[in-house]
Amino acid sequence: MTIIVTGGAGFIGSNFIFHMLKTYADYRIICVDKLTYAGNMSTLAGIMEDSRFRFCKVDICDRAKIYEIFEDEHPDIVVNFAAESHVDRSIENPEVFLQTNILGTQVLMDACRKYGIKRYHQVSTDEVYGDLPLDRPDLFFTEETPIHTSSPYSSSKAGADLLVLAYHRTFGLPVTISRCSNNYGPYHFPEKLIPLMIANALNDKPLPVYGKGENVRDWLYVEDHCKAIDLIIHNGRVGEVYNVGGHNEMANIDIVKLICKKLDKPESLITYVADRKGHDMRYAIDPTKIHTELGWLPETKFAEGIDKTINWYLENRKWWETIISGEYQNYYEKMYGNR
């Protein structure tokens, strides 16, 4: 089995590659990644010499190069993680989100049509459903919840999802889509809430909480997401969407306080800053479908996952310190300098 994994130098894609190489001794993985600011070769250093692995520095929007890879490798499955993934950046500059997230998806699916494929899997997000109110804890996102996006990021992901379903209906492309909640774990880029707060706390820097910190996210340990995708590409029904999430809702402020406590840092580091524009209030996944059809359940409890994550950032300081000492400083100044 040969699998093309796009965006494999990023957070979830790299964790997925590690999971697949560990689980399937005879699978070949081709990682296609443009290496944007979010892609990191040091993440993949440990598998570069593995004969089952090939890395291609290629933009998924580059049709000629993508077709070349398909001609060379005859992939059975494509799993598309490649995306611009940060909501705040999409508010600053939406264009690249539409290019990569929508047009890049189209190029990959055209290649799948041209060269034939057993499965195209689109890694999507629960953000396509918009948000839920805080005062209705009985409401959850199901696969039938209407698409109702808030940010340029989530709109681009929703646009891609609709295109994927259209390629299935119009051209018969064998597709599946997963819509997952917030992931956390090793190799998470330090612009996102959990790794940003860990890095800032370790450096005794202010911890910038948007608005009142009351927004709720449904956190899932990254390995559980990878296992869900593994199940879907092997056993999921073609043309179907699967929500992935583990009923682990937490308010941002509680996460930040917990990180302070675990790192023995004072809560006085917490600084309330201007809210994100169009900030989604609450995400909460109903995972009944993937549980009943594929037997998936999250295996890592948050208490265990957050300890593993914090330990990873403590033991791998070089990985994130290299990131935050570079171009990231300009990003941080722009986003947080006058906030």
223 is catalytic: no
Q: Which of 321, 318, 312, 311 has the alpha carbon at shortest distance from 203?
A: 321
The residue ranges that bind ligand DAU (CB under 6 A) are 85-87, 125-127, 181-182, 192-193, 196, 208-210, 215, 217, 252, 276, 283
Determine, following the binding rule CB under 6 A, whether residue 104 of this chain makes contact with ligand NAD. Answer: yes
153 counts as catalytic:
yes
CA 119/CA 164 separation, integer angstroms: 12
Q: Which is nearer to ligand DAU, 53 or 131 (CB)?
A: 131
Q: Which residue in the list 126, 161, 218, 280 is annotated as catalytic?
A: 126
Catalytic residue at 126? yes
Residue 97 binds ligand NAD, judged by CB under 6 A: no
* Residue 102 engages ligand NAD in binding (rule: CB under 6 A): no
As measured in angstroms, the least distance from the Cβ of 4 to ligand DAU is: 21
Choose, from 33, 120, 129, 153, the residue flagged as catalytic. 153
The residues, ordered by sequence, that sit 6+ positions from 176 with a Cβ below 8 Å of its Cβ are 119, 120, 121, 122, 232, 233, 236, 237, 238, 239, 240, 241, 242
Report if residue 242 touches ligand NAD, rule: CB under 6 A. no
Q: Do residues 118 and 263 lie in contact, with contact meaning Cβ atoms separated by under 8 Å? A: no
Site for ligand NAD in 60-79 (CB under 6 A): 60-61
Q: Does residue 251 belong to the site contacting ligand NAD (CB under 6 A)?
A: no
Q: What are phi and psi of 115, to 5 degrees?
A: -100, -10
Instruction: Enumerate the H helices of 53-100 as residue ranges.
Output: 63-73, 87-92, 95-97
12 is an interface residue for ligand NAD by CB under 6 A: yes
In terms of C-beta density within 10 A (0-12 exposed, 13-18 middle, 19 or more buried), how is residue 103 classed? middle
The region of 135-143, 165-173, 180-188, 305-313 touching ligand NAD under the rule CB under 6 A is 180-188
Task: State the residue for tokens 């560990």.
Answer: 22
Q: In the structure encoding, which two tokens stand for residue 155, read together?
A: 């709109």
* Residues of the shown chain interacting with ligand NAD in the complex, contacts defined by CB under 6 A: 6-7, 9-13, 33-36, 38-39, 59-61, 81-85, 100, 104, 123, 125, 157, 180, 182-183, 189
